[in-house]
Structure 1
Amino acid sequence: MFDFSWSEIAIIVIVALVFIRPADLPVALRALSRGVRAVRRMAAEFQGHVDEMVREADMGEVREQFRDLRRFDLRTKVERAIDADGTLRRSFEPPPSLSLAPPLAPPPVLPAPEPEPVEAPAILPPSTARRLARERERWYPPSILPPVMVQHGSRRVRLGAPEGEERE
């Protein structure tokens, strides 16, 4: 227990026989054994408390990690990483001054069945292909692409620009 060698234990026994009378020796050994038991009991209790604290600390960290995982929003994290100031998102919105498509009319009350689009890829469901065919006229290029310019006489004109909105 205390890493004593046999010679050290023998010296302790001889010193104990010299200083403790033989009549008091059993009482001293009982007191020593009670003291050793009490020390072992306290050490075991202390170790149990330390183990319990470690378990509680680990469980607290695990609970925090689970809470963080439940609150994790991948979409927001990716958007913040790619487009922190929102310029990329705004580039895909149609500019208010430039409207390439006519204003949308209200949908008819009873829509006629639409034919299947001819150019639809085979992996698209028919409902998605029909929706894309309806929305095709409202598509517009993102604002990060420069406008298509053509030469008209001596002036450069933006293709598809409304009347009066031209560049040289």
Structure 2
Amino acid sequence: MGRWADVIDEGALLEALNSTPMVDGRPQDLWADDAVLRRWAREHGGPADTSALDWLRTTRDVLQTATRGPVPEAELQRILAGVSRLPEVGGSVLRWRLQAPPERLIAVELVLAWYDVRERRPGRLRPCGNDECRLFLLDRSRANTARWCSMKTCGNRLKARRHQERARQAPAS
């Protein structure tokens, strides 16, 4: 099966990476619910059968690991096994048709989106600077200085905590 590449954009990539948030101090997996993941897959043009959902969860986990540290090449090679892109010409336009097993097609597109972001925006896709947060951010700032998934939540929380620590350590006058 094949189709045009680039179906998964940066927003969809972040949704996938951020599908395992901390809620009230406990890790959650939003994709543990088949109905939620099936809806996400359909919204992004993918199949929603059990095998495709399993591949999506595996791919998400591999990409989270790769974004936090060393790229797990063996796992990525397993996801990308037997995949190819074929050029197709339509008038003056050249497009690349992605060919992959149907159950892995959307998972492969997720991997391709991840690599595309890393290439076009090097160093800008990263984990939140709050060690207690499991979310990721794509820094679109000019200076590439964003540290938190959200200034409103993680940024303010960490700044408040640092302020309290400084206040406790300050000598009483």
What TM bracket, shorter-length normalisation? under 0.3
The answer to which structure, 1 or 2, has the higher relative contact order (CA under 8 A, 6+ apart) is 2
Using the size of structure 2 for normalisation, the TM-score is 0.22
Between Structure 1 and Structure 2, whose CA radius of gyration is higher? 1
Using the size of structure 1 for normalisation, the TM-score is 0.23
